[in-house]
Amino acid sequence: MTCAVVGLGLMGGSFSLATKDYFKKIIGVDHNKSHQEEALALGLVDEITDLKEAAKVADVIVLAIPIRGIISALKELSKTELKKDAVIIDFGSTKETIVNECPKNIRKNLVASHPMAGTEYSGPSAAIADLYKNRIMVVCNIEESGETQLKRAFDIFKHLEMNIKIMDAQEHDRHAAFISHMPHIVSFSIANAVLKQEDKEHIVTLAAGGFRDMSRLAKSNPHMWRDIFKENRQNLLDSIEAFKSELKKAKNMIENEKWDELYEWMKTGNELHKIM
């Protein structure tokens, strides 16, 4: 089989590395010229072409690009003569907009997925062969996908050694806001607060494990995360309000020296790691 990987950064590049022994040929598609050259040099893909040409010969098309790019690609693919039973897998971080805006004539081809994997790094050189291993792959609104397409996609996910979870797109986006998107906003907030209060020397001298862990997500690509926040705006706002409420509780307990209450509040927070 032939696979077209659209987007040769961390996600697309890692997928290519992990499926070298699954596909006979992997074609890369990326608007970034340096990404094209780097992906070829690293052996992530066998050749580079544009989406229209790749789609004509691909059995599987993976869209590992920002959400609006995915929607644009789906519209382009809807006007292209795809191979019979072609599978389109998208890796969008939000799902409701994608499934709602996917052209009807290729909706059965689409398997709307979200791999719960990643790092703070980007570009082809960030690709990791085992990025997806033992991670969760959320697949949304499977009743709208074709049976043949689902079977093929699930076979690929199992090859990646991923755990598949089925979810409604709207439900996915709400959960993603609390568990993924809001923590990124918090990390960016911590980074900006510290940069405005501390000089570089003190940050380097005093920053230990806790700060490094909390601020790590602030290394993430601002362009990509701006688009994710935009697409999941209302769910993100709801999650921020929930976080603000808890932070306000903590502030109130500290101001009023309610140390026993603060202890119990933190103890409740400890419960999270018993289920992770």
Domains and CATH numbers, the chain: 2-167 (3.40.50.720), 172-274 (1.10.3660.10)
Tell me the pTM.
0.86
DSSP 181: I
The predicted-structure confidence for 219-276, as pLDDT tens digits, reads as follows 888 988 999 999 999 999 999 999 999 999 999 999 999 999 999 999 999 999 888 7
Q: Contact 127/14 with Cβ under 8 angstroms?
A: yes
**What distance separates the 2 farthest-apart alpha carbons in the chain?**
68
Q: Which of 126, 128, 68 is nearest to 93 (CA)?
A: 68
User: Rounded to an integer, what distance in angstroms lies between the CA atom of residue 149 and that of residue 153?
Assistant: 6
Instruction: Give, as one character, the DSSP assignment of residue 83.
Output: P
pLDDT confidence of residue 2: 97
DSSP 275: -
pLDDT, residue 16, reads 97
Q: For the segment 10-27, what is each residue's pLDDT rounded down to a tens digit?
A: 999 999 999 999 999 999
The Cα–Cα gap between 225 and 239 comes to 16
Question: Which has the closest alpha carbon to 60: 25, 95, 94?
Answer: 25
Instruction: Give residue-wise pLDDT tens across range 160-215.
Output: 999 999 999 999 999 999 999 999 999 999 999 999 998 888 887 887 778 888 88
d(CA 136, CA 176) in angstroms, rounded, equals: 13
β-strand partners of 110? 88
Which tens digits make up the pLDDT trace of 46-64?
A: 999 999 999 999 999 999 9
Mean pLDDT for 21-50 is: 95
pLDDT band at 147 (very low <50, low <70, confident <90, very high): very high
Task: Give the whole-angstrom CA distance, residue 255 versus residue 66.
Answer: 43
Instruction: Name, in order, each residue with C-beta under 8 angstroms of 80's C-beta and a sequence gap of 6 or more.
Output: 51, 52, 55, 56
pLDDT confidence of residue 199:
85
Distance (Å, whole) CA 58 – CA 95: 23
